[in-house]
Structures are given as C-alpha cells and as structure tokens.
Structure 1
C-alpha cells in the first residue's frame, strides 16, 4: 500500500514540476502595439516599412489622426505615437492608407 501511494505522489510531483518549469514569455513585446489612445512601433521596423502609414491606419480605425510623440533611434528603441481627435475646424474624417 505504501509503495502505491509513493508512486502516485511521485507522478503528481512530476506533473506539478513540469507545469512550473515552462516559460511565461513575459519579455516578448510585438513590433507594433497600440490601442485607441496611441501605441508604439519598434525602431527596427522603421527600416522595413512605412511606420507613419502603420500609425495612420491604426488611428483611423478609431476615427482619429496621428501625432508622432517620440523616437528612440537605438537598438531596442521605439517610435511612439498618439491617436488624437480631428482638430477643431476640420470637417473631414481621417482616411485609411492603402497600398
């Protein structure tokens, strides 16, 4: 009886240990991330695509326009932008960029 219980506990311990060893990937940030107030674009993506067009498309989803707020031109840096409402006196809505 004692050996059965020891074997069951060993299996349960191995299962619990296997669940806690997995990686959480808490260090991963996508190259483009944003919401209705703005977002960030990885600086490495700036050499590959038109980052302004990415930001314009993103903000246009929410009926807003882009205001670029900052650039960190280094390894691991980001371009940050804000999505703001269309300025006063403008009657037109923002347009989506399509290629």
Structure 2
C-alpha cells in the first residue's frame, strides 16, 4: 500500500512539474472609478484618449494621463479626477 501511495505522489509531482507556468491574464482595458490602464497594443489600434475620457465620464470625472510604456506589452495609465473647482458643467460622454 505504501508503494502505491509513493508511486501516486511521484506521478503527481511529475505532472505538476511538466505543466507550464501561467501568469495572470490582464484584459486590454481595465479600470475603475480612480483610473485604469489600456494595453499599448490596443492604444495603437483605437483612440486611447477617447476610451479613457468615456470611462472617466461614466463616473462624472475627467481624465489625467499618467504614463505611457511605448513597447509591446506596455500600458497607457490614466487617473480619473474630479471636475476642477469653478467648472459648472459635468464631463461630456460621447457616443461611439
């Protein structure tokens, strides 16, 4: 019985070591009420500025771009800020 248990343990360790490692997958556009990221590959295909403006306007905020990593696998990051003082109009949301 111990031999069977040891053989099963060796087989499971072999299967786990042969399986490829997998990193977490991040969608090309991800954000919440404080900001978000846009994959650089998506930013080259679509208007990243308009995507960010529409996203922040959904929360009643304006967009402020923070950084760009201009290479494959990089991101465009942005923050959603409250409308500045003295502005009476709410952010505009555009139609696609």
What band does the TM-score fall into relative to the shorter chain? 0.7 to 0.9
Please, which runs of 5 or more residues in structure 2 have no aligned partner?
1-18
TM-score (norm 1): 0.74
Q: 1:27 Cα shift?
A: 2.0
Please, which runs of 5 or more residues in structure 1 have no aligned partner?
1-21
Match of 1:34 among 22, 31, 36: 31
Match of 1:65 among 35, 40, 62: 62
1:85 to 2:93 alignment = no
Q: 1:59 Cα shift?
A: 0.5
Residue 3 of structure 2 is matched in structure 1 by none
CA–CA distance in structure 2, aligned partners of residues 34 and 87 of structure 1: 21
- The root-mean-square deviation of aligned C-alpha atoms, in Å, is 2.5
Q: Tell me the SS of whatever aligns to 1:57.
A: helix
TM-score (norm 2): 0.76
CA–CA distance in structure 2, aligned partners of residues 75 and 47 of structure 1: 10
Which protein is bigger by CA-based radius of gyration?
Answer: 1
